[in-house]
Amino acid sequence: GENVEQHPSTLSVQEGDSAVIKCTYSDSASNYFPWYKQELGKRPQLIIDIRSNVGEKKDQRIAVTLNKTAKHFSLHITETQPEDSAVYFCAALFSGGGADGLTFGKGTHLIIQP
Amino acid sequence: DVKVTQSSRYLVKRTGEKVFLECVQDMDHENMFWYRQDPGLGLRLIYFSYDVKMKEKGDIPEGYSVSREKKERFSLILESASTNQTSMYLCASSPPSTGGKNIQYFGAGTRLSVL
């Protein structure tokens, strides 16, 4: 099955600086890679995703890049703000039985220092 | 807005008890999922279902079973709860993958403590 590795487990950056979180996946057939954000005490929510037919996608201060050859993808957050503090999960799509699902990384706790 | 509702936010049970965690979604989604979330281990898939009465094992199904008698409801069952099943349990639902995407919507979670 799919295996997703995520690094680092904790990332502390100064407010206004950039943050980068990296993930690798094992199944070369995977073609969809979402990122979820989970604020403290809340449910995970999708913030951005990318399909394998593109190399980069941006949405305001966040961007995701994908290198299919190397089987890794990254989340980039620029001009970090206090509300960016959260746990971020990367994921990769797998197909099993009659449905598709997601295999998640272990998460990165992003801390924005004032 | 998609609403995924888990029946309890907090549960405390005794070792050996049978425990039911309930999840209901209101978007007519075909797919439903149960995860457990533990510090440092992320979201691990227990079971998922793509249709009524259909179920598939995830990565950590041991000690759990599921039931999907109606499309909107997916139940996670701990036949005989053990202390190592103390965790946060998250339910999610999704429509069928379209355009190569699979977007999951999560419930608020049930924090289960087994004493």
Q: Is a pLDDT exceeding 90 seen at residue A100? A: no
Q: Which residues contact A59 (CB under 8 A, 6 or more apart)?
A: A47, A48
pLDDT band at B98 (very low <50, low <70, confident <90, very high): confident
* Interchain CB distance below 8 Å, B59 and A1: yes
pLDDT band at A44 (very low <50, low <70, confident <90, very high): very high
Minimum CA–CA partner of B33 in chain A: A101
Q: Does B97 touch chain A (CB under 8 A)?
A: yes
Q: Is a pLDDT exceeding 90 seen at residue B81? A: yes
d(C-alpha B28, C-alpha B90), whole Å: 19
Residues in B closer than 8 angstroms to A25, CB to CB, are none
Q: For chain A, how far is it from start to end, CA to CA, in angstroms?
A: 41
Residue A65 burial by CB count (10 A; 0-12/13-18/19+): exposed, middle or buried? middle
* Interchain CB distance below 8 Å, B30 and A51: no
Minimum CA–CA partner of A42 in chain B: B108
CA-nearest of B96, B101, B66 to B57 is B66
What is the per-residue pLDDT for A97?
66
* Interchain CB distance below 8 Å, A32 and B42: no
For residue A105, give both structure tokens. 């990384």
Minimum CA–CA partner of A30 in chain B: B100
Minimum CA–CA partner of A91 in chain B: B43
Would you state the torsion angle of the CA atoms of residues B12, B13, B14, B19, taken in this order, to the nearest 10 degrees?
-170
CA-nearest of A67, A41, A104 to B35 is A104
CA distance B1 to chain A (A): 13
**Least confident segment among A76-85, B52-61, B78-87:** B52-61
Residues in B closer than 8 angstroms to A45, CB to CB, are 106
For every residue of A9-27, DSSP letters joined together read SEEEEETTS-EEEEEEES-
Residues in A closer than 8 angstroms to B97, CB to CB, are 32, 93, 100
